[in-house]
Amino acid sequence: MRQASALLEFDTPGQGFTDITAQVARWLASLGFTEGLLTLLCRHTSASLLIQENAAPEVRDDLAAWLARLAPEDARYAHDDEGPDDMPAHLRATLTGVSLQIPVIGGRMALGTWQGIYLAEHRHMPHHRQIAAHVIGE
């Protein structure tokens, strides 16, 4: 059994979902693992990770609208140090989660046909984000 880890870096264009599947797959393929478990951790409190539909963009649009309804940007929050999207971003990250565990089978992530890995940016401004990646296996 062996393991490997890295900090993968991504720039987001602002609020929305950035597909990071290909970059994660390239990193995993470069390591030569055939079986194992991949763990991804978003190292931020106002961004998150999701496995979601990768074919119909309407799914991501509907998800963004749902999150906006659950955590609206308004004056109800005490924490607004960085603007009106500050606390709603933290709430949205809490709802969607910051870590994923994905089995590695046959040297590839065992994602379903229509699944992709998304870095969800919950702030309006573009950000530079880090994802800690760890794989253990053979």
Alpha-carbon distance 75 to 43, whole Å?
A: 27
Stated as kind and residue range, the H or E segment containing 10 is strand 2-12
SS3 state at 138: coil
Residue 6, both tokens: 């890295």
Whether the predicted pLDDT of 28 surpasses 90: yes
pLDDT, position 102 = 98
Structural domains of the chain in order of their starting residue, each with its CATH number: 10-137 (2.60.120.460)
SS3 state at 51: strand
Report pTM: 0.96
Give residue-wise pLDDT tens across range 127-138: 999 999 999 999
Give residue-wise pLDDT tens across range 81-129: 888 999 999 999 999 999 999 999 999 999 999 999 999 999 999 999 9
Whether the predicted pLDDT of 44 surpasses 90: yes
